């Protein structure tokens, strides 16, 4: 049986492979176990170092034995450090693989949902619908333009032509005023007569008197 088989307790050929979550959990438990082993070895190293120092001058044999044990503990500690690095690398790889698996699973789930959503959709019908929507929007815009257009009782005038006519009238009025001013300056005004107006002509007065006399004579003859 392989080392990983011993660690994870996998069975024979027909054994079920562990899930990524189960493998990650086992690796974490192994890391905790090895970390405790590290603490134990570090304490043992410190104790052997104290023993070697204590017996260094009094009992060299005991001091040398303590140093030998210290070396063995240090070697085991180095091996545990290497094992922890390998386990940590494998755990991170499994965690990344598990993350990728979940991402792909969710993407596949979303793809199925999208497929189901589009299952009853016909691209030709969608194009026709969008064309109809566009057409109706254009109709609505035309209606809005007609409604917002000012009402002129059926009369449609070109504003440019009206402005040109107005400018022409203004120019004619201006020219007329200028001519009147120039004529006033060139022609002298007639002087006011100093004598009073003549009375009724004498001839006409005489004719009226004769008519009155003739009427009087005709009345007397009757």
Q: How far apart are CA 63 and CA 57, in angstroms?
A: 9
| Cβ(91)–Cβ(34) below 8 Å | no
Task: Give a yes or no: residue 175 inside a domain.
Answer: no
Q: How far apart are CA 73 and CA 40, in angstroms?
A: 9
| Model pLDDT for residues 24-64, shown as the tens digit of each residue | 899 999 999 999 999 999 999 999 999 998 888 788 888 89
Of the pLDDT bands very low, low, confident and very high (cuts 50, 70, 90), residue 1 is very low
| Model pLDDT for residues 99-140, shown as the tens digit of each residue | 898 899 899 989 988 888 888 778 888 888 888 899 999 999
Q: What pLDDT score does 3 carry?
A: 44
- Residue 84 vs residues 41, 79, 87, 205: alpha-carbon distances, Å: 15, 9, 5, 157
Q: How far apart are CA 1 and CA 6, in angstroms?
A: 7
Of the pLDDT bands very low, low, confident and very high (cuts 50, 70, 90), residue 81 is very high
- For the chain, percent of residues with pLDDT exceeding 90: 29
Whether the model pTM is above 0.75: no
Task: Give a yes or no: residue 205 inside a domain.
Answer: no
Task: Give a yes or no: residue 203 inside a domain.
Answer: no
Task: Give a yes or no: residue 32 inside a domain.
Answer: yes
For the chain, the domain total comes to 1
Q: What pLDDT score does 28 carry?
A: 92
Domain residue limits at 85: 3-10+17-118
Half-sphere exposure of 118 (CA within 13 A, CB side): 9
Q: How far apart are CA 29 and CA 40, in angstroms?
A: 17
Res 7 pLDDT > 80: no
| Cβ(24)–Cβ(91) below 8 Å | yes
CATH (domain of 86): 1.10.287.1060
Task: Give a yes or no: residue 67 inside a domain.
Answer: yes
Quick count: other Cβ atoms within 10 Å of Cβ 93?
12
Task: Give a yes or no: residue 38 inside a domain.
Answer: yes
Report the mean per-residue pLDDT for the chain: 80
Task: Give a yes or no: residue 219 inside a domain.
Answer: no
Task: Give a yes or no: residue 137 inside a domain.
Answer: no
The alpha carbon of residue 129 and the mean position of all alpha carbons in its chain are separated, in whole angstroms, by 27
Q: What pLDDT score does 21 carry?
A: 86
Q: What pLDDT score does 122 carry?
A: 80
Q: Give Dmax (Cα) for the chain.
A: 204
| Model pLDDT for residues 16-27, shown as the tens digit of each residue | 888 888 898 999
Q: How far apart are CA 114 and CA 123, in angstroms?
A: 15
| Model pLDDT for residues 129-177, shown as the tens digit of each residue | 888 899 999 999 988 888 877 665 555 667 888 888 888 888 888 888 8
């Amino acid at each position: 049986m392989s080392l990983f088989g011993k660690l994870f307790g996998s069975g024979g050929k027909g054994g079920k492979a562990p899930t990524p979550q189960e493998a990650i959990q086992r690796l974490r438990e192994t890391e905790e176990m090895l970390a405790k082993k590290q603490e134990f070895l570090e304490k043992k190293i410190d104790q052997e170092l104290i023993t070697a120092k204590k017996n260094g001058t009094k009992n060299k044999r005991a001091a040398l034995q303590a140093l030998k044990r210290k070396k063995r503990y240090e070697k085991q500690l180095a091996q545990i450090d290497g094992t922890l690095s390998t386990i940590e690398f494998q755990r991170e790889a499994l965690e990344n693989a598990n993350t990728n698996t979940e991402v792909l699973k969710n993407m596949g789930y979303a793809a199925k949902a999208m497929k189901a959503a589009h299952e009853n959709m016909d691209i030709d019908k969608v194009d026709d619908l969008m064309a109809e929507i566009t057409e109706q929007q254009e109709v609505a815009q035309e209606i809005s333009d007609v409604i917002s257009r000012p009402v002129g009782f059926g009369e449609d005038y070109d504003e440019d032509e009206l402005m040109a006519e107005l400018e022409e009238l203004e120019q004619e009025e201006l020219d007329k005023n200028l001519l009147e001013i120039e004529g006033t300056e060139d022609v002298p005004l007639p002087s006011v007569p100093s004598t009073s107006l003549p009375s009724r002509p004498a001839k006409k007065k005489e004719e009226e008197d004769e008519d009155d006399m003739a009427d009087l004579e005709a009345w007397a003859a009757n």
